[in-house]
Structure formats: structure tokens, C-alpha cells
Amino acid sequence: MFIPYSLLQFPGTSFSTGQPRSVKKIGKIDSTNIFISKNYYTWGASVVEGEDGKYHMFYSRWPHGKRLEKDDSLNYIFDGFAGWNKYSEIAYAVSDNITGPYRHVKTILKGTGDPSRWDRFTFHNPYIRKFEGYYYLYFISNSFDSSLTGDKPLSPSRLQWFKYNCTQKIGVLKAKTIEELIDRSPTSATGAFIMEPDNKQTFEVTNNPCVTEGPDGKYYMMYKSRKPVFGHMTFWMAIAAKPEGPFKTVSSVLTSPETASEDPSIWYDKKRKRFYAVAKYFSNTLKLAPQFGSIILITSKNGIDWQPAKHTLATLKEIKFQNGSKVDLANLERPFVVADRKGQPIALFAAAAIQNPFKGNPLRVDNEHNTFNVHIPLK
């Protein structure tokens, strides 16, 4: 088990309009704010307060270890952490407090391998919100495209990886209660997807969905795509009259190689009358932040035209302890901001790893190469 964490800082900004502010310190972290699974990679938490006053977490997980050839002759590309691309499932946990401790309950979405379904394999990127009295769980899934070839020289294993990866689409489940949402077979049908690449603006994938309600009563989705072929990551905005869509893509957000990012989390601040989003910075040019993989902050007045906040860096990949020590992280990803009814952030969730989990031994995962979700209260 990890030792208690205690203090984390967001240098330079505090989820504001980007104007200079003193460094904002956020709540102390202890072991109750760490969610980790013994035999699973644990990733990407998303949380909502239920009608019962409890906090309900949906997260991604997939087993440690090597994949067996008897299950699939292509499984050699999914050993260890790489297994997310085929074997991730969406699980559910619950807590009396927003930052934990959380108790795992069950898996609610899992691939069947059915070749007739768009959601054939992985279930990943859960994003839970409550709109108009209903819960909406956005997610991604994939299938397999045997015809994919691309025009870049790739190793056979890398090409096989993309045959799965390039079929990612976005879906959503709607339920009146949390009980209704989770009281279902993990392999039951999830309905049609709500977003796929149009091959005009967006290409190869649609994933990392995040949705918020705007001041106009419309629903704004920020999602990730890629430039062809197997190119850098891009963000796009889509708008719908209803939380379940149909969504129409209306604008680009971060589409240059210098601003490549992933894992957005969006909300609308009613006090400041602005949209905000945090995301993982994914460019080595370091144009927006001093560290690859750090968390950045972007903002918009209308939800369509976005720009980096004046102080774009939200946090580096590090955790600071109450005793003054610090742990540098290999990964700090999938940020998810919980905001109150006025759009004021009250908690930050993120997936983390101390050592690069891709480089761990797939037959044995120790704490350093394991992964966990950290839940940080915001003052």
C-alpha cells in the first residue's frame, strides 16, 4: 500500500480566469484518498454525488500480467499496461465522502468480443455527469479493423495495435438512478455510439469525452481525435440540445502539434461566466507548459473559441508530502474536476503512476509500476 500523501500545489493558477494568483494549496491527502487495486491497473476515475448523498465513482481497470495466445493470437501486443486497448472494463465504487475511501462494488461495462458490435472490446474513459434529473455515463469502446493499413512504415505489432485503436468511438448510458445505471449485465448492449470520426475534420479516433451544460441550456462536449495518419492528438467541440445528443462538431480547440493534449475535463463556472477545462499536455515542444505530461488549464467565454489560460500550468507530475518530501510521477493523467452547483471546483481526481507502467514487468507489478487514482480536495 502507498504511504499517505498529503499536499499538492497548483502553481501559478487556481482554476481562475488565468489572472496571476498566489500559489493555491489544496487539501491534505492521506491514504483514504488513494484508490488502488491489487490485481488490476487502476485508471481514470469520474465521480458524481448520488440521490442517496453518497459519491459514486466510475473508473477503468484491466488485469495485470501477460495475455494468453489461446484467447487471441494477437494478444502479445496487449501484455501489461498495454492491455487497456483491448481489455479495459469500467468498474464502480462508492464512498460516503467525495475524496474517499472508495469501496469497489462491481464491473458495469465489459467487452463481449462480439464482432457485430461497435463496443466489441475495451470499455474506457468513463465520464459521469447528472443533467436534467438523469445520470449520463459517457465512455469509449472499440472493435477491430482488419483492413487498416496506413501509409507510415510501422512494425507488424504496431500496425496490429492501430487496427484496434483506430476504431474508438464514444457512447453513453442514461439512467434515472445510480441503482438503475449499475444494475445491469456488464456485457449488455449499450446502444449506438454518439460520436465517430468524420474523416473531414476528425480522424481515426473519437475518445476522451467530457460534457457540461452551458448557460444557454445546450450541452458542450470536448473530445479527442487525431490527425492522419496515426498523427498527433487534437481536441474538438461538439454541441447538442440534449445530453445524449445528437452532437454536432462546431470547432477545433487544440489542434497544432505544439498544443497536442488529451484527457480533457470540462465545466462551466457560473460565477465567472466562463468555460474551463483541464487536460494532459502531450507535446515535447513545451509551448504551453514546462513539462511533458503536466496538467494544463484552458478557458473559453462561449464554449466554442478556446485559448490557454494566462497561467496555463495547473500542476506538474509530482506529489508533495506533508513532511516536505516530494515524489515525482511518471504519469499524472485523466484529470477529472468535480464542481459544485455554481461551477466552483471542489475536487480533482487523477490517474497516476510513480514509474512508467508500460516499462513494468507484465508478470509482476510492484507498487512503483502499479497505477492508482488519487482524489484531491480543493479549497
Please write the tens of the pLDDT for every residue from 200-221.
Answer: 999 999 999 999 999 999 999 9
The reported pLDDT for the residue numbered 151 is 65
Q: Is the pLDDT of residue 324 over 50?
A: yes
Closest CA to 352 of 321, 317, 312, 323: 317
Does a cis peptide bond (omega within 30 degrees of 0) precede residue 228? no
Sheet strand arrangement including 89-95: 40-49, 55-63, 89-95, 103-109
Whole-number Cα distances in Å, 5 to 32, 163, 308: 9, 39, 29
Across the range 152-181, mean pLDDT stands at: 92
Say what the pLDDT of residue 28 is: 63
Q: Taking the domain 9-363, which CATH number applies?
A: 2.115.10.20
Short-list 260, 267, 302, 307, CA closest to 282: 260
Euclidean distance between CA atoms 137 and 58, whole angstroms: 9
In this predicted structure, the answer to whether residue 46 has a pLDDT above a threshold of 60 is yes
pLDDT, tens digit, for every residue of 329-363?
Answer: 999 999 999 999 999 999 999 999 999 999 988 88
| 26 pLDDT above the threshold of 70 | no
Q: Kindly list the distances between the CA atom of residue 146 and the CA atoms of 74, 78, 225, in Å, as whole numbers in the listed order.
A: 12, 17, 20
Domain regions of the chain by residue span? 9-363
Nearest-angstrom CA–CA distance, 77 and 314: 34
Asked if 294 and 316 count as a contact pair (C-beta separation under 8 A), the reply is yes
What integer pLDDT is reported at residue 363 of this predicted model? 84
Residue 199 burial class via C-beta count within 10 angstroms: exposed 0-12, middle 13-18, buried 19 and up: exposed
What's the pLDDT band for 322 if we cut at 50, 70, 90? low
C-alpha cell at 160: 496490429
| In contact, 281 and 288? CB cutoff 8 Å | yes
Compute the residue count for the chain: 379
DSSP class of residue 177 equals S
Say how far apart CA 145 and CA 308 lie, in whole Å.
Answer: 36
Mean of all residue pLDDT scores within the chain: 89
**Residues 269-276: what's their mean pLDDT?**
96
Closest CA to 133 of 56, 54, 51: 51
C-alpha distances in Å from residue 133, one per residue of 50, 85, 181, 213? 11, 33, 13, 13
Q: What pLDDT does residue 376 have?
A: 81
**Is residue 17 pLDDT above 90, yes or no?**
no
Confidence of residue 150 (pLDDT cuts 50, 70, 90): low
Task: Give the integer Cα–Cα distance in Å for 239 and 329.
Answer: 35
Reading phi first (left if > 0) and then psi (alpha if -120 to 50, else beta), residue 65 is in left
Confidence of residue 19 (pLDDT cuts 50, 70, 90): very low
Residue 95 has pLDDT above 50, yes or no: yes
> Can you tell me the distance from the alpha carbon of 15 to that of 314, in angstroms, rounded to the nearest whole number?
8
pTM across the whole model: 0.92
Mean pLDDT confidence for 91-95: 98
Please check the confidence at residue 80 and state whether its pLDDT lies above 80. yes
152-166, 186-200, 344-358, range with the lowest pLDDT: 152-166
Distance separating alpha carbons of residues 298 and 285, to the nearest angstrom: 17
Cis-peptide into 229, omega within 30 deg: yes
- Please write the tens of the pLDDT for every residue from 217-268: 999 999 999 998 888 999 999 999 999 999 999 999 999 999 999 999 999 9
Q: What are phi and psi of 370, to 5 degrees?
A: -80, 175
Structure-block grid coordinates of residue 125: 474513459
Which pLDDT score, from 0 to 100, does residue 24 have? 46
Burial class (CB in 10 A: 0-12, 13-18, 19+), 290: exposed
Mean local confidence (pLDDT), 86-99: 96
Give the model's pLDDT for residue 326. 75
Q: What is the pLDDT confidence band of residue 2, given thresholds at 50, 70 and 90?
A: very low
Alpha carbon distance 137, 329 (integer Å): 29
> Would you place residue 122 in the very low, low, confident or very high pLDDT band (cuts 50, 70, 90)?
very high
